[in-house]
Amino acid sequence: MLIETINAWSELCPERIAHRHRDRMLNYAYLKTSSDALATWLYDQAELKEILRGRPIVVYGHKETEMLTCFIGCVKAGFPYIPVDSSTPAERVRQIIEASGAWLVLTMQRVPEGMVQAGIVVVDAVDALAMNQAGTLCLAGGDHLRLTSLPLPEWQVQDDEVYYIIYTSGSTGVPKGVQLTLRALESFLNWVNSAYLPEERNEVFLNQAPFSFDLSVMDLYMSLSTGGTLWSVDKDEISNPKELFASFAKSQTSVWVSTPSFAEVCLLDRSFNETLLPNVKHFLFCGEILTHDCASKLTQRFPRASVENLYGPTEATVAVTTLTITPDILSAFNPLPVGRVKPDAQVLICDTDQLSAQIASGKGILPHRPEELSEGKVGELIIAGPNVSVGYLNNPEQTSKAFFSWQERGQTWKAYRTGDAGLFKEGLLFYQGRLDFQIKLHGYRIELGEIEETLRRIPLVDNVVVLPIERRGKIEYLQAFITVGNPVEDEYNTVLALREDLRKHLPEYMIPRRFKFLDKMPMTPNGKADRRALLGGSE
Ligand code: AMP
């Protein structure tokens, strides 16, 4: 239904702007014709090259309007897409292409040299989509294809087929590709659209997150499915407050979607209030803790808007719980709850060790619902329902660790172990931190293990632990504690070299701000690096 719904907007309001990025705009009519053209071309190419249906396509760029055409074009031809932001280091992009088995890269920007290994076709989508009035698709190579037919409905990604794949940080040192089906996406959209936009249409959605983060799935598809306008701010605007606020003022944003961190930075400026953004109806937050302070400032500065705290991981399609942060909630709770569970999903609080044992003995399939802890007890948060991912792409080992299923009243429940700690109280879910070494820094999901593994591959490094350094209860930066084979003589230049090496593999937000060289790693009695002792010695 999703594709049909998006197509329908091109008939109902062809001129309406579907996406705006700076001065570039894409209307619903053009989104349809350009994605149809791309889908037809993709389908023909796949037939020619004997590419199997369902093999992914990488869409590489940032906030260009062509990104949307590429996403929709891919799924119209039966191929899931992998959005990769152009800020991703070349080596990581190469890793994603290789690990995913992508057969094509559609780019909006120059692909870094050496990024793509032999055999992968790169198409410059901006050129490719420079379609003229006569319905000709110009490809990067200069070929002009006349569009003779429209994509057929049966080509499209079907309910239980993978629609998109998002790569997240992986603790073993390699990013994991989370696969989400059309059914999962529709289950999420039906819920959020009926909760926040029961009648409204033609809203303007703020798009802050890059398309490679699952938060953007919320603004992108809430907007496209309801005939809205997606208003993207790019990374240069975000790093220039004057430009950013000018963009806000122009945008007429009515549905704000961002991480709480982004809103916190905006709130530092007193002019971030109703006068700047008079149309905002909803603030939709997800991805990290929404602090009491942030929520109360927003309710004061935007008294006519609702503030919503949504919770969920990429593996369960953006979010599974939500709560409107009313004055009553603000006076009753600090920290704030993350709310109530969407109707077609379940959230269970389980004992981690007991659950691990049950999953291991049942080889991932439980004969019954796992045992839950009683209300008020903290345990691992398990999410089950149609919104749960079908697993990590080409990664059975990590998939079997994180996903399992059980039978209940003749129905199979697909479940995901979040690694989050949580509890239920008065019917509300409370997030209680992590049970492992995954963290959120300024809204970015990071596995500390991935940074450690990347550092360990550098010959100089013997052993390493990376820790988040907190100030006033909030993670401020990362610090790496490193033991080396030979004493470091020139610390300054050694750190520069380590940083340079890391930058080849990791995005900027994963590079530790501080490095400390140790003679010896402090150890706990059971032989693990003593993180507590390290924190005591952090600077
Ligand atoms: P991501 O896959 O990037 O969306 O990250 C998912 C993780 O972000 C979850 O497992 C939580 O640890 C955290 N998270 C998401 N939403 C919230 C929220 N509302 N409050 C606290 N933590 C959150």
Q: Is the CB of residue 214 below 6 angstroms from any atom belonging to ligand 1?
A: yes
208 in a structural domain: no
139 in a structural domain: yes
Do residues 10 and 152 share a domain? yes
Residues 375-402 have a mean pLDDT of: 97
Which residues constitute the domain of residue 499? 438-536
What is the reported pLDDT for 129? 58
Q: Which atom of ligand 1 is the closest one to the Cα of 431?
A: 21
Do residues 363 and 418 share a domain? yes
Whole-number average pLDDT of the chain? 92
Q: What share of the chain has pLDDT > 90, as a percent? A: 81
CATH code of residue 7: 3.40.50.12780
Least confident of 112-126, 152-166, 285-299, 516-530: 112-126
Do residues 395 and 516 share a domain? no
Q: Is the CB of residue 516 below 6 angstroms from any atom belonging to ligand 1?
A: no
Residue nearest to atom 20 of ligand 1 (CA): 289
User: Rounded to whole angstroms, how far apart are CA atoms 29 and 13?
Assistant: 8
Total domains, the chain: 3
264 in a structural domain: no
CATH code of residue 476: 3.30.300.30
Do residues 32 and 135 share a domain? yes
Q: Given a cut of 60, is residue 143 above it in pLDDT? A: no
User: Rounded to whole angstroms, how far apart are CA atoms 495 and 505?
Assistant: 16
Cβ-based neighbours of 54, under 8 Å, separated by 6 or more: 78, 79, 80, 161, 162
Cβ-based neighbours of 507, under 8 Å, separated by 6 or more: 87, 88, 89, 92, 444
Residues 413-433 have a mean pLDDT of: 97
Peptide bond just before 313 cis, omega within 30 deg: no
Do residues 39 and 141 share a domain? yes
Per-residue model confidence as pLDDT tens digits over 61-86: 999 998 999 999 999 999 999 999 99
Q: What share of the chain has pLDDT > 70, as a percent? A: 92
- Spell out where 249-345 has E strands: 255-258, 282-285, 306-311, 321-324, 340-341
The amino acid at 378: V
Do residues 379 and 501 share a domain? no
223 in a structural domain: no
Q: Is the CB of residue 287 below 6 angstroms from any atom belonging to ligand 1?
A: yes
Q: Which atom of ligand 1 is the closest one to the Cα of 433?
A: 12
Q: Is the CB of residue 36 below 6 angstroms from any atom belonging to ligand 1?
A: no
Q: Given a cut of 80, is residue 253 above it in pLDDT? A: yes
Q: Tokens for 256, please give them.
A: 């704000």
Closest CA to 454 of 95, 83, 146: 95
Residue 310: what are its φ and ψ, rounded to 5°?
A: -105, 150
> Does the reported pTM lie above 0.85?
yes
Band the pLDDT of 147: cuts 50, 70, 90: low
Residues 143-151 have a mean pLDDT of: 63
Q: Tokens for 531, please give them.
A: 């993180």
Cβ-based neighbours of 371, under 8 Å, separated by 6 or more: 350, 351, 354, 358
Do residues 349 and 476 share a domain? no
Given ligand 1 and candidates 445, 448, 450, which is best to mutate, with the most ligand atoms within 8 Å of its CB?
445
Q: Is the CB of residue 420 below 6 angstroms from any atom belonging to ligand 1?
A: yes
What is the reported pLDDT for 443? 93
Do residues 369 and 420 share a domain? yes
Do residues 425 and 458 share a domain? no
Do residues 70 and 142 share a domain? yes
CA–centroid distance, 511 to ligand 1, in Å, is 21
What is the reported pLDDT for 539? 47
Do residues 8 and 123 share a domain? yes
Looking at 381, 399, 434, the residue that finishes a domain is 434
Q: Tokens for 435, please give them.
A: 């049970």
